[in-house]
Amino acid sequence: MNQIDQVLTSLRRVIRAIDLHSRQLVKTASVTGPQLRLLQLIRSQQGGTVKELADAMSLSQATVTSIMDRLESRNLIARVRSQTDKRKIHPQLTASGNALLDTAPTPLQDSFVRKFDQLHTWEQHMIIASLQRVAEMMDAEEIDASPFLDIGSLDRAEASETSAGKTDDHKG
């Protein structure tokens, strides 16, 4: 196998690993990766605002609001208006949201982070530089992306649609 084929095969394996894990997450927990991450952040940053959650996820407030809409429609979160500043909304987990988090599998990036942290600093820098160069070579350096590993749109209208085989053309 020539070098370009090795690179493309490795990229395909990474994409495929993310896709398989994302599908398994939807199948077992009925949430997408970004939905699970937002639920985790709501739990850990109790009283956090939508802006703070969006910043923590490296996503726009509009995207986080869209994800919250889906979570709220499934009764996994509730939006509570601030008592001190009525313009601020503080999402809170419902009992269903807490139960889902208690049984949800760990996100793919948790395993990656654990293994990445075990590398020497020079290896970490080499991987970062290489991946940044690959993104540049693919004209992808301006694409808005969260550090959350997920395939396709950032969020799906209903997790069950994905597992039922419908298309993923929903806005995130």
Instruction: Note the pLDDT tens digit of each residue in 30-56.
Output: 898 889 989 999 999 888 899 999 999
Write out the H or E segment, with its range, that includes residue 80: strand 77-81
The mean pLDDT value of the chain amounts to 83
Q: What is the mean pLDDT of residues 4-24?
A: 90
> How many other CB atoms are found less than 10 A from the CB of residue 89?
15
Domains in the chain: ranges and CATH: 3-163 (1.10.10.10)
Q: What is the pTM of this model?
A: 0.70
Question: Does residue 153 have a pLDDT over 60?
Answer: no
Q: How many CB atoms lie within 10 A of CB 45?
A: 14
